Amino acid sequence: SSSVLIYGKTGTGKEMVAQSIHNCSRRCSNPFVSINCASIPSTLLESNLFGTVKGSFTGAEDRGGLFEAANQGTLFLDEINSMDPMMQVKILKAIEEKRIRRVGGTKQISLDVKIIAALNQDPMELIKKGKLRKDLFFRLSVIEIDIPPLKERKDDIEYLTKYFIDYYNEDMEKDIKVISEEAKEVFKEYDWPGNVRELKNIIEGAFNNTEDDIISIDDIPERLLKEKRNRQIRPPIEFDANNVGLQEYLE
């Protein structure tokens, strides 16, 4: 039931990790509710999380928020650092007291919600810049999970590629067997700035491009091939340094 904080760059699979934690817990038969805090304007975030009472503002109805929807289950707060400081205080209070109050209401509602939060930037840097409250960070990071970017775990690429090929074979009703050795080599040398999400999208794109049962380098984006070419090191130029002047030697 401890709070969990997941840190990983965009596309590393933070929500998948959060879902895995939920699915392996005793709460697995109860709701898993996810919200990306960056996708909702700060003026609407509070009502989305805590719910509203009819008449609290124009058009407001009696409606429960995501905390109530996640009762007895798990609430996943992605990109929590995008919340303004005042909203972070309210989240901290809700976690500490295990109670919330709807916007415009007076009644305290007791809840049992496991909180998993995620950041796509270094938490220490966010705290220094004032984008993440230190007290909220310490409350959330009872268990802290750091997900390394894909370029730091390239052994995973082969397994992920196979998984996505199987996934899109079923989804698109195709029968792609493998990717070519050349394409594998390109995948290993590429730095994957978009992480696992980028790999998934490239496999999906290749499924749309290929007419065979194998994915070749002709089916993947040109930018991957350009990076491979840019990485190739030119052989050093050899010359006799004894018979040249200083300027020519330096050149």
3-state SS record for 187-243: HHHCCCCCHHHHHHHHHHHHHHHCCCCEECHHHCCHHHHHHHHHHCCCCCCCCCHHH
Per-residue model confidence (pLDDT) at position 1? 82
Which stretches within 118-194 are classed as H helix? 123-128, 134-140, 156-172, 181-189
Q: Is 89 exposed, middle or buried (0-12, 13-18, 19+ CB in 10 A)?
A: middle
Per-residue model confidence (pLDDT) at position 21? 97
Tokens describing residue 36: 């990306």
Calpha distance 184→171 (Å, rounded):
23
Q: Please report how the helices 222-231 and 181-189 are oriented relative to each other, as an axis angle in degrees rounded to 10.
A: 70
Per-residue model confidence (pLDDT) at position 58? 65
Per-residue pLDDT of the chain (251 residues; tens, 9 = 90+): 899 999 999 999 999 999 999 999 999 999 999 999 999 988 889 999 999 988 777 667 888 899 999 999 999 999 998 999 899 999 999 999 999 999 888 899 999 999 999 999 999 999 999 999 999 999 999 999 999 999 999 999 999 999 999 999 999 999 999 999 999 999 999 999 999 999 999 999 999 999 889 999 999 999 888 766 666 555 556 667 677 788 887 77
Give the pTM: 0.80
Instruction: Please report where in the chains the tokens 């493998």 appear, as a residue.
Output: 178
* Side-chain-side CA neighbours of residue 246 (13 Å): 0
5 DSSP assignment: E
Ramachandran category for residue 31: left, alpha or beta (phi over 0 → left; psi -120 to 50 → alpha): beta
Per-residue model confidence (pLDDT) at position 228? 64
